[in-house]
């Protein structure tokens, strides 16, 4: 089909005007790097593969591989006399897990503590995140983000030990409450719950902050235009939109509490799943510790599947 | 094609051979050496903190350098917190540590697993001076074969805050009685071996159970000990592993009564301001610990190992370790060289009457360690499981 050129029928377009180039540019010498670059350019999938090889390799070999080894170990057993692992398939560990009521009690206790910590973190974090996202001026917001992140710079052990001092019999908390005639919770599960809430609060504030920031203010305006007052808007508009972010934050607080053993060993004498696993590592009864480890792992897999359903992964 | 087939066949043969030789039964016992040769130049020691000081903690405290200078064996030290941790380290690094200071509740497990080798005690000239009461014990001698050289010993004691607890406790049984005035402020050692302490109490309060050795408990006796400990659980404010944590608890009043080591009492009394505590060994007796220097069955530095053990059990070094750590020395000639003339008296080093009712930590086994053959006893696995149940 003849091309109608804007410049008129006599004009065949720039390409025809220009004579064929006198000499084609000589191809560059085929050095190794050039060949490699060329080869990669032609094979986009190989490029992608090489790029991902490092992280995927780490994920598959180091992470998934070690989980598989853990899983296999759970089906082995230990010779009580020599203390060495017997590499033979057996279900003894899982039978012991199910039969002995201790493990049910400890699992339930751990899950309840994780749930309590998650709910408390959500309640405490929400006003802070809301203020940061909606009310604070940009400068204040920046300062608040720094303030929220600063505890994360301190080592976990320092924070846990500090709380040990605070909750001690002659610690800061009792000293503070003494004029009011009250006494702090001291060491115990209530004290532990306080410590966990403190430790994981930044992990709940940040996803909530991100989620609240994403809500366009126009929606809130539209809601009030339609006649909804503050609480109604919050309940009907803000909360459903921020819910995935809430679930995302809860993943952190729940999973971190579920597996923790250091804070419980410092603040209480009661045992949580992590303490039991550690005790068995100490014996060392590695097969039974592996079987025990599968319990929080299974709980988290179920939790993560639920979280995905509720849209948490889009909010992260 | 042919080349590939041959290569493949060789590869398969290599795999099969290596599998056969590797997967065999336990390592054959190395024959006892008859003489100590020249040092190999290096040695790795796994020890309780404070036992093998090389100037790393306190530059003035170093009894390793003289050994290195004299023998040319360069020493690397690693410390551990509990016997279980020591056993764990051995099982995950079977060839790393040449020498270990093992308490009685680790030594037998190490022997049974084949991790340590018999020691020719004739080659260790300081062995002759070790207190006879420490030699040929079930946790360092198996079927007449010596597996190590004794180091020193200590007793678990009952400590209380003198300003808080009136009247002062006099028996272990009070620590298990929920009606005691100090209930809720009791601090005990966090290890399954503590079940033996309950058994020691039962030996006096329930003689009808017939417990002869707190580490040899059959089903009925074990159940009684576990019940006693479950009865104690509500009284407990702290299960301690790290001695500094027990010191914290006594100092700030979270614990006012507990099982302890002499060194903890000494440290608390030596603080400024001093923490008002006192300590006794109750009339029921007590559990204690006695450590043994053992040699890895796979060691490549056997000569350095023997030289080191001879060095660390010599009177001059043994008393330095005993004074630094806070325990009774194992060498009978060590007391004369003590810096603190009262050291041996405080730690009852040569007071055999003190040690008569002390049961050194020992691994419980299914074959009753008190010699009974008409029944089986609970093995260490059962103790571990029971301990986690007691803590709840």
Residue with tokens 């002390």: B358
* pLDDT band, very low/low/confident/very high, at B26 (cuts 50, 70, 90): very low
Residue A77 phi/psi, 5-degree rounding, is: -140, 180
Pick the more confident residue, B23 or B9: B9
Q: Give the one of A164, A276, A283 whose C-beta lies nearest to B84's C-beta.
A: A283
Distance CA B383, CA B362 (A): 12
Residue with tokens 């009043």: B253
Cβ contact, residue pair A170, B88, below 8 Å: no
Interface membership of B232 toward A (CB under 8 Å) = no
Cβ contact, residue pair A269, B391, below 8 Å: yes
Please provide the average confidence, as pLDDT, over all residues in chain A.
Answer: 87
Shortest alpha-carbon distance between residue A262 and chain B (Å) = 13
Give the residue from chain A lying closest to B246, CA to CA: A266
Residue pairs spanning A and B at CB distance below 8 A: 72
With a threshold of 0.80, does the pTM exceed it? no
* A167 in Cβ contact with A275 (< 8 Å): no
pLDDT in tens, A214-259: 999 898 889 889 888 888 888 888 888 999 999 999 999 999 999 9
- Asked, for residue B15, whether it belongs to a domain, the answer is no
B149 and B168 share one domain: no
Cβ contact, residue pair B239, A269, below 8 Å: yes
B174 and B279 share one domain: yes
* pLDDT band, very low/low/confident/very high, at A23 (cuts 50, 70, 90): low
Give the residue from chain A lying closest to B92, CA to CA: A284
Would you state the pLDDT for residue B10? 53
- Asked, for residue B47, whether it belongs to a domain, the answer is yes
B237 and B371 share one domain: yes
Cβ-based contacts of B88 with chain A (< 8 Å): 281-284
Beta bridge partners of B47: B79
Interface membership of B88 toward A (CB under 8 Å) = yes
Would you state the pLDDT for residue A26? 59
Would you state the pLDDT for residue B22? 39
Token representation of residue B37: 């040769």
DSSP-assigned letters across all residues of B140-169? TEETTEE--EEEEEEEEEEEEETTT-SSPP
Distances (CA, A) of B69 to A269, B43, B66: 47, 13, 5
Give the residue from chain A lying closest to B384, CA to CA: A283
- Helix (H) or strand (E) run with residue B188 in it: strand B186-189
B301 and B312 share one domain: yes
Would you state the pLDDT for residue B16? 42
* B258 in Cβ contact with B246 (< 8 Å): yes
Question: Can you name the CATH fold of A103-315?
Answer: MetI-like fold (1.10.3720)
Region label for B246, one of left (φ > 0), alpha (ψ between -120 and 50) or beta (otherwise): alpha
Would you state the pLDDT for residue A184? 87
Token representation of residue B83: 């016997």
Q: For helices B104-112 and B83-92, what crossing angle results, to 10°?
A: 30
Task: Locate the domains of chain A by residue range.
Answer: 103-315
Listed by number, the residues of chain B in 319-358 with a beta carbon closer than 8 Å to a beta carbon of chain A are: none
- Asked, for residue B222, whether it belongs to a domain, the answer is yes
- ipTM value: 0.72
* A77 in Cβ contact with A92 (< 8 Å): yes
pLDDT at B236 over 90: yes
Three-class secondary structure of residue B323 per DSSP: helix
- Asked, for residue B36, whether it belongs to a domain, the answer is no
Pick the more confident residue, A89 or B242: A89
B241 and B373 share one domain: yes
Beta bridge partners of B278: B160
- Asked, for residue B11, whether it belongs to a domain, the answer is no
Cβ contact, residue pair A84, B391, below 8 Å: no
Would you state the pLDDT for residue A286? 87
In chain A, at which residue ranges do the beta strands (DSSP E only) sit?
77-78, 85-86
Q: Is the peptide bond before A284 cis (omega within 30 degrees of 0)?
A: yes
pLDDT in tens, A70-90: 899 999 988 877 777 889 999
Cβ contact, residue pair A171, B252, below 8 Å: yes
- Asked, for residue B190, whether it belongs to a domain, the answer is yes
Distance CA B53, CA B68 (A): 12
Shortest alpha-carbon distance between residue A136 and chain B (Å) = 43
B195 and B226 share one domain: yes
Shortest alpha-carbon distance between residue B168 and chain A (Å) = 22
Give the residue from chain B lying closest to A106, CA to CA: B392
Interface membership of A276 toward B (CB under 8 Å) = yes
Choose, out of A283, A287, A291, the residue to mutate when testing the contact with B (most B CBs < 10 Å): A283
- The CATH number of the domain holding residue B99 is 3.40.190.10
Percent above pLDDT 70 for chain A: 90
Residue B130 phi/psi, 5-degree rounding, is: -65, 140
Cβ contact, residue pair B392, A282, below 8 Å: no
- Asked, for residue B67, whether it belongs to a domain, the answer is yes
pLDDT at A199 over 90: yes
What is the separation, in whole angstroms, between the first and last Cα of chain A? 54
Shortest alpha-carbon distance between residue B349 and chain A (Å) = 31
Shortest alpha-carbon distance between residue B103 and chain A (Å) = 15
Domain extent for B257 = 155-287+364-391
DSSP collapsed to 3 states, A240-251: HHHHHHHHHHHH
Cβ contact, residue pair B87, A284, below 8 Å: yes
* B355 in Cβ contact with B153 (< 8 Å): yes
B97 and B170 share one domain: no
B251 and B373 share one domain: yes
pLDDT in tens, A134-154: 899 999 999 999 999 999 999
Residue B75 phi/psi, 5-degree rounding, is: -100, 130
Cβ-based contacts of A284 with chain B (< 8 Å): 84, 87-88, 91-92
B135 and B63 share one domain: yes
- Asked, for residue B259, whether it belongs to a domain, the answer is yes
Would you state the pLDDT for residue B28? 46
* pLDDT band, very low/low/confident/very high, at A24 (cuts 50, 70, 90): low
pLDDT in tens, B181-216: 999 899 999 889 999 999 999 999 999 999 999 999
Token representation of residue B384: 């571990």
Cβ-based contacts of B254 with chain A (< 8 Å): 168-169, 186-187
Choose, out of B108, B164, B258, B385, the residue to mutate when testing the contact with A (most A CBs < 10 Å): B385
B163 and B277 share one domain: yes
Interface membership of A105 toward B (CB under 8 Å) = yes
* B313 in Cβ contact with B127 (< 8 Å): yes
Cβ-based contacts of B391 with chain A (< 8 Å): 269-271
Q: What size, in residues, is chain B? A: 392
Cβ-based contacts of B387 with chain A (< 8 Å): 279
B371 and B269 share one domain: yes
B123 and B176 share one domain: no
Closest Cα to residue B191, out of B106, B264, B83?
B83
* pLDDT band, very low/low/confident/very high, at A20 (cuts 50, 70, 90): low
* pLDDT band, very low/low/confident/very high, at B3 (cuts 50, 70, 90): low
Q: How many domains in chain B? A: 2
Q: How far is CA B74 from the centre of its chain?
A: 25
* B335 in Cβ contact with B130 (< 8 Å): no
Distances (CA, A) of A207 to A126, A132, A316, B159, B203: 10, 12, 7, 50, 59
């Amino acid at each position: 089909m003849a091309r109608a050129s804007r410049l008129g029928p006599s004009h065949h377009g720039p390409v025809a005007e220009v004579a064929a180039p006198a000499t084609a540019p000589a191809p560059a010498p085929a050095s190794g790097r050039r060949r490699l670059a060329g080869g990669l350019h032609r094979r986009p999938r190989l490029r992608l593969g090489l790029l991902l090889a490092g992280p995927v390799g780490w994920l598959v070999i180091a992470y998934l591989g070690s989980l598989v080894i853990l899983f296999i170990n759970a089906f082995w057993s230990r010779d009580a006399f020599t203390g060495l692992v017997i590499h033979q398939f057996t279900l003894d560990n899982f039978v012991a897990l199910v039969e002995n009521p201790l493990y049910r009690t400890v699992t339930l206790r751990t899950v309840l503590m994780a749930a309590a910590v998650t709910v408390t973190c959500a309640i405490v974090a929400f006003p802070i995140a809301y203020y940061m996202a909606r009310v604070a001026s940009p400068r204040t917001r920046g300062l608040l983000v720094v303030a929220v992140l600063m505890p994360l710079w301190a080592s976990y052990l320092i924070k846990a030990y500090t709380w040990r001092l605070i909750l001690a019999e002659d610690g800061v908390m009792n000293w503070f409450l003494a004029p009011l005639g009250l006494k702090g919770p001291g060491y115990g599960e209530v004290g532990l719950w306080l410590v966990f809430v403190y430790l994981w609060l930044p992990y709940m504030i940040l996803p909530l902050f991100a989620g609240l920031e994403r809500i366009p203010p126009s929606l809130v305006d539209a809601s009030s235009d339609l006649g909804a007052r503050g609480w109604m808007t919050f309940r009907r508009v803000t909360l459903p939109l921020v819910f995935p972010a809430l679930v995302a934050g809860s993943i952190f607080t729940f999973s971190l509490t579920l597996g923790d053993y250091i804070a419980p060993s410092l603040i209480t004498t009661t045992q949580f799943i992590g303490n039991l696993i550690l005790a068995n590592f100490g014996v060392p009864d590695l097969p039974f510790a592996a079987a025990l480890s599968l319990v929080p792992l299974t709980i988290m897999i179920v939790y993560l599947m639920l979280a995905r359903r509720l849209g948490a992964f889009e909010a992260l | 094609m042919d080349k590939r087939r041959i290569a493949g066949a060789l590869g398969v043969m290599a795999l099969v051979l290596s599998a056969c030789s590797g997967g065999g039964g336990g390592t054959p016992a190395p024959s006892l050496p008859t003489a100590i040769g020249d040092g190999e130049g290096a040695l790795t020691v796994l020890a309780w903190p404070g036992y093998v000081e090389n100037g790393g903690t306190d530059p003035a405290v170093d009894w390793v350098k003289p050994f290195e200078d004299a023998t040319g064996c360069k020493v690397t030290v690693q410390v551990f917190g509990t016997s279980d941790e020591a056993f764990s380290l051995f099982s995950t690094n079977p060839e790393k540590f040449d020498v270990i200071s093992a308490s009685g509740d680790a030594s037998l497990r190490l022997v049974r697993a084949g991790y340590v080798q018999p020691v020719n005690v004739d080659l260790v000239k300081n062995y002759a001076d070790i207190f006879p009461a420490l030699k040929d014990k079930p946790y360092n001698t198996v079927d007449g074969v010596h597996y190590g050289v004794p180091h020193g010993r200590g007793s678990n004691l009952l400590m209380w805050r003198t300003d808080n607890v009136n009247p002062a406790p006099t028996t272990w049984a009070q620590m298990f009685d929920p009606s005691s005035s100090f209930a809720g402020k009791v601090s005990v050692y966090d290890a399954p071996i503590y079940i033996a302490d309950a058994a020691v109490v039962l030996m006096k309060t329930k003689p009808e159970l017939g417990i002869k050795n707190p580490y040899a408990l059959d089903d009925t006796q074990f159940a009684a000990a576990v019940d006693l400990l479950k009865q104690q659980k509500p009284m407990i404010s702290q299960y301690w592993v790290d001695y500094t944590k027990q010191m914290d608890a006594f100092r700030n009043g979270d614990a006012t009564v507990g099982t302890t080591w002499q060194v903890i009492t000494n440290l608390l009394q030596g603080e400024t301001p001093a923490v008002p505590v006192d300590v006794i060994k109750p009339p029921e007796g007590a559990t204690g610990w006695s450590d043994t220097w053992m040699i890895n069955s796979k060691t490549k530095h056997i000569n350095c190992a023997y030289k080191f053990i001879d060095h660390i059990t010599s009177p001059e070094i043994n008393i330095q370790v005993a004074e630094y750590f806070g325990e009774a020395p194992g060498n009978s000639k060590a007391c004369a060289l003590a810096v603190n003339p009262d050291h041996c008296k405080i730690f009852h080093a040569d007071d055999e009457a003190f040690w008569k009712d002390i049961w050194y930590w020992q691994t419980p086994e299914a074959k009753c360690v008190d010699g009974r053959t008409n029944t089986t006893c609970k093995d260490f696995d059962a103790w571990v499981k029971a301990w986690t149940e007691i803590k709840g």
